[in-house]
Amino acid sequence: MNKKTVLSVVLGWFVMSYPTLLKAQVENAQSEFKGIIGKTIEESREYFPEKKKAPAGAPNIIVLLIDDAGYGTSSAFGGLMQTPVLDSLANNGLRYTNFHSTGVCSPTRAALLTGRNHHSVHMGTLNYSSLGFPGYDARMPADKATIAEILRENQYNTFAVGKYHVAPLDEITVNGPFDRWAVGRGFDHFYGFQLGHTDQYHPNLYEDTRVVDVEPNKTHLTTLLANKAISYIANQKSIAPEKPFFLYFATGAIHSPHQVDKKWSDLYKGKFDKGWDVYREEVFARQKKLGVIPPDAILPDRDTSVKAWNSLTPKQKKVYSRFMEIYAGFLTHTDYEFGRILKYVREIGQDRNTLVLAIVGDNGSSHGPRNGSFNGYISSLGEEEQVEELYKNLDKMGTEHSFSDAPAGWTQATNTPFRLWKADPNSEGGTHQPLIVYYPNGGYEKGGVRNQYGHVIDIAPTIYEIAGAQIPEAIKGVKQAPIEGTSLAYSLKKADAPNRHTVQYYELFGKRAIVKDGWKASVFHRPGTGFKEDVWELYNLNEDFNERIDLAKKHPEKVEELKKVFDEEARKYNVYPLHDRLFASGFAAGSNRIGGRKRGPWGDRREIVLYPGIDQFLTLTGPQFQGESFTITADVDITSKQDEGVLFSTGSEFDGLSLFVKDNKLYSAHNTGGIVRHLESASAIPVGKNKLRFDFQFDKEAKPGAPAGREALYINGAKAAEREISLREGVIGLYKDGIDVGADRNSPVSNKYQSPFTFKGILHKIVIEYK
């Protein structure tokens, strides 16, 4: 049968069937109508379907997710960072002491929001390091609905505020598609950022599906987020007071950059001068007193990568203590802002019927640099030089002009009582998080402690059970897969209830573990080594909760038993193939590098044309400049010698590239870790039509210390300036700020202008060509 015949048959069927289909639709609509339709309005009776209602007594629900916070950060679980709001919730609610994340950002959030394992929802890695396999492509499937989707089906209003970090990289543009953004996954509104971190004073924000420009801005991001959350709640309770709300509040704090107003960091002046070894001991003792660790627990040895505090120089101690003061002030400020939300809920009379689930950390504290970090340039120096430069910049630490992260000694200390760090899913230090459950109407004892095993996939079913929410068989016509988590509701009123979640796997970047009935087998896989070389460890968490004693040699049969369980879980939940590709070696511009052009919306396209008026891109979702040669050409009309401004920019004052016109000259600013190298054209730009080009020639095979290429400026094809570049300058604007056409919003790449430095001439287009 040829195509013409097939088309004729289909059209014939449609013409014959259409009246029947239309009649069926009309009859269906009439069957749902329970009024009367007469010839006149007098003979008719109106009918409006009854509005659906939320389950009787369904509470408002707030889920707080703090970023990059270890078990020993918050004072609510014995830490020395003061969190009076979390303390109050815990003292009037329940502390869960055996709760776990996946070990890193995107996977934890995907698992939390869906109640399914992270590989099961295709988020086996970070959204900007995705791979083309079902467990790793960062495309959360529609058959595994989010909490927001299910609660909205149960007549909740739903809001996501803060860090999202689970949309595919190539879809994070204002062009969408938006079905995997927060508003496409059940949230009525979204206000926040899309990647792993953002600047706390110059954030890259979206509201719903649009870019939000908050500049010029001096308000801290966490304050902006709290303001928006309160606004959403105020509108919701004013317009639909009968409906409950679900607020997912995921802060950027306390992920780097550690930035906070001095009044918060100065609360801790001198309070960490005793150092990280004493911090660990004091927190360990406080945790025992609170009952959040076993009374017979033993503190693990300091990690071998961390120096003893007493071995440090006075200058090192001064620098490292200041880092910790900022780190602590950052969390205390976050606690305060979250408290403002809860205060508002109390003021409108909604506090008793509001369930709060506060998760302190989407993973353990991050494995910070040995000396901490201020900017990329200082981090590139030798250790002694770093300390000297950091000491010179003490007053700038924690401000908008620093991209601070705490030293590894402090981040290990804030993971007390565990070993290792974030992104170590094989360890409790990477995955063991405080959980606080607070619900005045729940009837739970105040200040209770729960030791049942829990995981982020358990949050969704816990919410559904407490709210009395029904899980639809299908959402938007898509049949739903089973929930994979276990509700914790069974333990809310029974402190001694036996564990129900008895098996759980972990895997990130080849590091992996399996927990079954309190036994744990794990692998600390080293990137670049063969998986067959991995050595399994074994721990009895029932007796050794913080993994001090490896029993693998004593119980090899148990290791083999658990390895088989891991394999079963891995096959069930899309874990295979194992990989360790978070970062690729060298300057690969393809799919193995973090971000990488292949993951962006243009794929492998060699030419990209951008027009003025375009919204800001994120650096990882816009054109990439990662270790390859390229040109950027601006097609402009210079209407007078006074025309100036930015033509194209990517990045911020910490890293990036800007092409701009000033004083009738063409400039480029190449910012590497805060060190800016400018090119200035030798000749003026003539009035009229011009093609202004930046040419970047890069040799990724260059030896360290040798020139790695050249960058040059051209005005209408004539070379106007040139300089040699180093190997380190091959990656530009990676993961900092945004990409702008005709301006440089947020934080400026160059110190020769102030943002936004909007171009005053006529910019027709920007053409980027990769060589």
Terminal CA-to-CA distance of the chain, rounded, Å?
48
Q: pTM for the whole thing? A: 0.94
Tokens coding 118: 């992270």
Q: How distant, in Å, are the alpha carbons of 645, 666, 723 from that of 663?
A: 10, 8, 21
What amino acid is encoded at 90 in this protein? A
Q: Return the closest-CA partner of residue 673 out of 370, 322, 373.
A: 373
Task: State the pLDDT confidence band at 733, using cuts at 50, 70 and 90.
Answer: confident
Residues 44, 171: Cα–Cα separation, whole Å: 50
Instruction: With a cut of 60, say whether residue 1 has pLDDT above it.
Output: no
Residues 323, 422: Cα–Cα separation, whole Å: 19
Q: How distant, in Å, are the alpha carbons of 102, 188, 509, 701 from that of 566?
A: 15, 38, 15, 41
- pLDDT on residue 604: 86
Q: Which long-range contacts (CB under 8 A, 24 or more apart) does 388-391 make?
A: 388/315, 390/319, 391/315, 391/318, 391/319
What amino acid is encoded at 742 in this protein? G
Residues 379, 673: Cα–Cα separation, whole Å: 8
Residues 23, 19: Cα–Cα separation, whole Å: 6
Residues 508, 421: Cα–Cα separation, whole Å: 13
Instruction: With a cut of 80, say whether residue 597 has pLDDT above it.
Output: no
Torsion of CA 651, 609, 695, 171, to 10 degrees: 40
- pLDDT on residue 21: 42
CB atoms inside a 10 Å sphere around CB 274: 14
Instruction: With a cut of 50, say whether residue 485 has pLDDT above it.
Output: yes
Q: Which long-range contacts (CB under 8 A, 24 or more apart) does 291-294 make?
A: 291/97, 291/449, 292/77, 292/78, 292/95, 292/97, 292/434, 292/449, 293/78, 293/97, 293/417, 293/545, 293/546, 294/545
Angle at 406 between CA 320 and CA 167, to 5 degrees: 175
Q: Which residues are bridge partners to 159 per DSSP?
A: 189, 247
Largest CA distance in the chain: 94
Q: What is the arithmetic mean of pLDDT over 433-440?
A: 98
- pLDDT on residue 505: 98
Collapsing DSSP to helix, strand or coil, 85 comes out as helix
- Exposure letters 160-176 (e unless 16+ CB within 10 A, then b): bbbbbbbbbbbbbbeee
* Of the listed ranges 13-22, 48-57, 318-327, 425-434, the one predicted with least confidence: 13-22
Contact (CB, 8 A) for 260 and 201: no
* Of the listed ranges 85-89, 446-450, 586-590, 675-679, the one predicted with least confidence: 586-590
CB atoms inside a 10 Å sphere around CB 472: 15
Mean pLDDT of the chain: 93
- pLDDT on residue 531: 96
Q: What is the arithmetic mean of pLDDT over 600-614?
A: 93
Q: Return the closest-CA partner of residue 226 out of 346, 342, 74.
A: 342
Task: State the pLDDT confidence band at 25, using cuts at 50, 70 and 90.
Answer: very low
| pLDDT, tens digit (0-9, with 9 covering 90-100), for 336-385 | 999 999 999 999 999 999 999 999 999 999 998 999 999 999 999 999 99
Q: Return the closest-CA partner of residue 168 out of 111, 110, 115.
A: 110
Q: What is the arithmetic mean of pLDDT over 308-320?
A: 98
- pLDDT on residue 140: 98
Instruction: With a cut of 80, say whether residue 120 has pLDDT above it.
Output: yes
| pLDDT, tens digit (0-9, with 9 covering 90-100), for 694-721 | 999 999 999 988 999 999 999 999 999 9
Share of the chain above pLDDT 90, in %: 90
Instruction: With a cut of 50, say whether residue 590 has pLDDT above it.
Output: no
Residues in the chain: 771
Tokens coding 706: 């040798």
